[in-house]
């Protein structure tokens, strides 16, 4: 077979594979009653789809389909600038000329909010549905006005992926973990082995893709068993992951936040293998955010301490936020929101408090981005190879 023929066959195989829908993994049964949720708590796949369909002030585009055939959307607010790109980010900084990757308009930051890539972490999904309501109408779904957040939305270009893992969310049988035991959240999130034992965290990352010894495929994963946080970023296994990287590459965000949830107080996590200035910027933002939470009498964690990576073995992982930075140069962060699980060693937060935690995050993120544009001046040429 000629090289051209072989390439054509391979391309057709890839196209066929990408158009196929994966067999649906077995449903996950609830072991506890579903907690009652208020009317503003909208985080199911169909509720997120309805919120996206209602967008009028922004634009909506489909950027991927999950293995289960579910769409992944990008919602954008603000005018798309002409970035006059003649180089990718990596090459532009090698030339000491970052503006050859993106010449950005002064005073208009670009912010990328990546909705949860783990399907059981629905707090960020609820937060984004309410963020879309504020962007469209000025109020959240409780009817509470957020004038500063709305003003900040109007002063920035904001890119939002409301749901990064629709397969995992569709598989999750709970709409909220408020009052649910942490082991049940872990069973649903990270899944189990065939003998019923919990994979847990970080044990669920030791098998990837999550295939083989699987009793319950946790909501962490898409229907192919891929956890987007730890994909192969130079050759992504998941179409969703490639789409996230494409958003960062094409739009050149100044700031990127990937939404997650855990049992502990709200936290901004340090991203590994990124320049010191981005770690220091993330730490300053986290300090500001945690102070705002304390003012609102909400739980608050400690800001990350910038440090060199890899001083001990095993080193930290190069994960999705690391890859998003190296694709775009943006200050990339993970935000962790509390679930409100049952055990009293964890923050006992209500649904209202969780929504406030989410919307304050977006308000402070956009305000910080407006006040602190990413460095863009080109240093003097010379040196290096």
Interval 197-226 mean pLDDT: 97
pLDDT exceeds 90 at position 12: no
* pLDDT score of 376: 47
Query: Tokens for 145?
Result: 């006005």
Q: Give the range among 16-30, 38-52, 94-108, 347-361 with minimum mean pLDDT.
A: 16-30
Interval 351-367 mean pLDDT: 98
Query: Tokens for 191?
Result: 């899944």
* pLDDT score of 18: 46
Which pLDDT band holds residue 313 (cuts at 50, 70, 90)?
very high
What's the gap between Cα 13 and its chain centre? 30
Domain residue limits, the chain: 48-174+233-340+356-371
* pLDDT score of 374: 76
Q: Read out DSSP for 153-198?
A: HHTSEEEEES-S-HHHHHH---S--TTS-HHHHHHHHHEE-TTS-B
Note the CATH number of domain 48-174+233-340+356-371: 3.40.630.10
DSSP β-bridge partners for residue 216: 192
Q: Give the range among 15-29, 53-67, 141-155 with minimum mean pLDDT.
A: 15-29
pLDDT exceeds 60 at position 40: yes
Cα-based distances in Å from 145 to 53, 113, 352: 22, 21, 14
Which pLDDT band holds residue 222 (cuts at 50, 70, 90)?
very high
- The per-residue pLDDT of the chain, averaged, comes to 92
Kindly give, in sequence order, each residue whose CB lies less than 8 Å from that of residue 44, ignoring residues fewer than 6 positions away.
Answer: 169, 175
Calpha distance 282→315 (Å, rounded): 20
Cα-based distances in Å from 132 to 136, 160, 285, 341: 6, 9, 23, 26
Cα angle 41, 46, 51; round to 5: 65
Which pLDDT band holds residue 17 (cuts at 50, 70, 90)?
very low
Q: Tokens 């707090």 correspond to what residue?
A: 123
Q: Percentage of residues in the chain with pLDDT exceeding 90? A: 88
Nearest to 58 by CA among 43, 78, 38: 78
* pLDDT score of 130: 98
The backbone torsions φ and ψ at residue 338, rounded to the nearest 5 degrees and listed phi first, read -70, 140
Calpha distance 362→288 (Å, rounded): 12
Of how many residues is the chain composed? 385
Nearest to 119 by CA among 25, 236, 245, 218: 218
* pLDDT score of 375: 66
pLDDT exceeds 90 at position 7: no
pLDDT tens digit sequence for 112-158: 999 999 999 999 999 999 999 999 999 999 999 999 999 999 999 99
pLDDT exceeds 70 at position 383: no
pLDDT tens digit sequence for 370-382: 999 876 433 333 3
* pLDDT score of 381: 38
Long-range pairs of 84-93 with CB within 8 A, sequence gap ≥ 24:
88/249, 89/249, 89/252, 89/326, 89/327, 89/328, 89/329, 90/326, 93/329
* pLDDT score of 270: 87
Calpha distance 350→298 (Å, rounded): 10
Enter the pTM of the model: 0.92
pLDDT exceeds 70 at position 267: yes
pLDDT exceeds 60 at position 243: yes
* pLDDT score of 19: 52
pLDDT tens digit sequence for 155-194: 999 999 999 999 999 999 999 999 999 999 999 999 999 9
Q: Give the range among 42-56, 95-109, 320-334 with minimum mean pLDDT.
A: 95-109
pLDDT exceeds 80 at position 94: yes
* pLDDT score of 106: 84
């Amino acid at each position: 077979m000629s090289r051209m023929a072989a390439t054509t066959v391979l391309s057709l195989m890839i196209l066929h594979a990408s158009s196929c829908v994966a067999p649906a993994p077995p449903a996950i049964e609830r072991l506890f009653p579903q907690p009652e949720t208020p009317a503003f708590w909208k985080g199911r796949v169909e509720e997120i789809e309805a919120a996206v369909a209602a967008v009028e002030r922004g634009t909506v585009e489909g950027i991927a389909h999950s293995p289960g055939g579910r769409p992944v959307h990008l919602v954008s607010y603000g005018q798309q600038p002409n970035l006059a790109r003649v180089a990718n980010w990596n090459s532009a900084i090698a030339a000491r000329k970052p503006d050859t990757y993106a010449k950005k308009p002064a005073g208009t930051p670009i912010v990328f909010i990546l909705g949860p890539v783990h399907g059981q972490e629905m707090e960020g999904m609820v937060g984004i549905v309410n963020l879309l309501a504020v962007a469209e109408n000025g109020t959240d779904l409780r009817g509470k006005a957020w004038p500063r957040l709305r003003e900040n939305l109007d002063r920035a270009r904001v890119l939002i992926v409301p749901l990064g893992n629709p397969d995992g969310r569709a598989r999750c049988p709970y709409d909220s973990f408020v009052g649910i035991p942490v082991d049940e959240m872990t069973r649903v999130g990270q899944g189990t082995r065939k003998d019923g034992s919990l994979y847990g965290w970080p044990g669920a990352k030791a098998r990837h893709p999550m295939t083989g010894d699987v009793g319950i495929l946790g909501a962490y994963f898409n229907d192919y068993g891929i956890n987007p946080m730890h994909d192969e970023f130079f050759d992504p296994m998941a179409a969703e992951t490639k789409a996230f990287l494409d958003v960062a590459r094409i739009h050149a965000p100044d700031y990127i936040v990937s939404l997650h949830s855990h049992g502990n107080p709200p936290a901004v996590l340090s991203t590994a293998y990124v320049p010191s200035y981005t770690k220091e910027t993330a730490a300053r933002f986290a300090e500001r955010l945690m102070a705002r939470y304390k003012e609102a009498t909400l739980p608050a964690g400690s800001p990350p301490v910038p440090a060199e990576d890899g001083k001990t073995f095993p080193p930290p992982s190069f994960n999705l936020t690391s890859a998003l930075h190296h694709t775009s140069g943006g200050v990339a962060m993970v935000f962790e929101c509390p679930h409100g699980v049952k055990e009293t060693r964890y923050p006992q937060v209500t649904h209202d408090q969780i929504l406030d935690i989410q919307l304050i995050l977006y308000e402070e993120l956009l305000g910080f981005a407006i006040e602190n544009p990413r460095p863009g001046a080109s240093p003097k040429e010379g040196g290096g190879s």
